[in-house]
Structure 1
Amino acid sequence: MQAINDFILAAAGQPWVLLLVFACCLIDGFFPPVPSESVVVGLAAVAATADVPNALVLMLAAAAGAFAGDNIAYLIGRATGTSRWAWMRNHRMQRAFLWAGGELRKRPASLIMVARFVPIGRVAVNLTAGATNYPHARFVGLTVLSAALWSGYSVGIGLFFGQWFEDNHLLGATIAIICAVLLGIAVDIVLSRLRGSSPARLRPDAPGQAAPPADG
């Protein structure tokens, strides 16, 4: 266990860790299986007691990657629509795309901001925003703010829980990641219930709904 903690501490102090954070957050903007939250929260938990990596720099790297990933997803949506690839056409993703399209017409700012905290939700919203030609300049402004809030939230969780485990970086990072995942699930459940209470014409599972447009 001590060897594992020493390795975590040594790795956290390397400059390439911040590049890894940026890359994970960027890819997670359009490919949800990449665990950007886990990387950011885990490193923040280490920073709480070891002071490496620097928490502010970690937050900036995460925010920059999240912003870039969200806007890449927007551009992918504008270029390809929301049904080009097989993973887009599964039932859950198509429901998410349909719901996102309806919500973007009603409350785009709050949707883009909140969706950043839900892995599948943010991909669906970002792709749909591009596919439906939501104004890119406005999208950029909203994703600057959402990326900053998300990175601050993720680093904050790691710092809060990491400080309880000064002598065990692995345990601190693990507990912080579990708490972040549970909070993410809670947000997803709340959004699902809100979707379920939406008018039938905007619900993603409403009968007779057509799939969202495949192009802009």
Structure 2
Amino acid sequence: MTFSLAATESVGLGVLLALLGVVAFGAIVPVVPTGAAVSGAAALAWHTQPLVLILAVLAGAAGAYVGDLVMYGLCRLGGEQLARRLRWLRDGQHLGAVQERLKESQVPVLLVSRLIPGGRVPVLLAAGFLGLSWRTFVVANAPACLLWAFVYAAIGVFGGSVFPEPWQSVVAAVVLVVLITQIVSFVQRRRAA
């Protein structure tokens, strides 16, 4: 069995490039549901061409990585003033706690922050304010983005394996991601209160 870019015809190379662009944009503008985009693409790939699933994970991870690089650059260059103007920074105490965790263990904090809804921006801000080196960020963020894309693709595959029609799988994956995100956000708010 040979695999080539022609195998992407079922999902479409355009869909993969759009996924990369949407996730990159969503990493910079954190209101775009990037996890749902990866899950939906994975569910579609599961039904049409399972080998393309790997490309969907890689496109999602690449988009997240590029967006995170831009976001980290903004955090480092714009600093606290930009963060406050864009309302990225709400709670100075929370940021201080994140900075302390980053001083202790940078790579695990970056990995976990990518998986927790709403956790990435405070960690990027804290890393930028601390002056975490570009080299450390570039290296540590790659596995974080890949793990993130894999987790959301797994949610899409779950939806794809439960429902017989591709559109049902995509809807199920998106709804599941939204539900998980809302539940995690609710738990975080309750713990903070």
With normalisation by structure 2, the TM-score equals 0.81
The answer to whether the 8 A contact 2:88-2:122 is kept is: no
Counterparts of 1:185-200 in structure 2, within 5 Å, are 185-188=182-185, 196=192
Classify 1:83/1:120 alpha carbon distance in 2 versus 1 (closer, same or farther; 3 Å): farther
Classify 1:52/1:15 alpha carbon distance in 2 versus 1 (closer, same or farther; 3 Å): farther
Q: How far did residue 109 of structure 1 move?
A: 2.1
Matching residue of 1:91: 90
Matching residue of 1:75: 73
Choose from 101, 108, 111 the match for 2:109: 111
Counterparts of 1:160-171 in structure 2, within 5 Å, are 160-167=158-165, 169-171=166-168
Matching residue of 1:131: 129
Paired-residue identity, %: 26
Q: How many residues align?
A: 184
The answer to whether the 8 A contact 1:103-1:111 is kept is: yes
Counterparts of 1:5-24 in structure 2, within 5 Å, are 13-24=11-22
Q: How far did residue 125 of structure 1 move?
A: 1.2
Classify 1:102/1:186 alpha carbon distance in 2 versus 1 (closer, same or farther; 3 Å): farther
Matching residue of 1:101: 99
Matching residue of 1:173: 170
Rounded Cα–Cα distance in structure 1 between residues aligned with 2:32 and 2:94: 19
The answer to whether the 8 A contact 1:28-1:119 is kept is: no
The answer to whether the 8 A contact 1:81-1:131 is kept is: yes
Classify 1:95/1:24 alpha carbon distance in 2 versus 1 (closer, same or farther; 3 Å): farther
Give the partner amino acid of 2:90: H
Q: Secondary structure at the match of 1:134?
A: coil
The C-alpha deviation readout for 1:137-173, integer Å capped at 9, x for no partner, is 1111111110111111111110122122123x22221
The answer to whether the 8 A contact 1:28-1:69 is kept is: yes
Classify 1:122/1:107 alpha carbon distance in 2 versus 1 (closer, same or farther; 3 Å): same
Higher helix share: 2
Matching residue of 1:144: 142
Structure 2 residue runs without a partner (length 5+): 1-8
Structure 1 residue runs without a partner (length 5+): 1-10, 197-204, 206-216
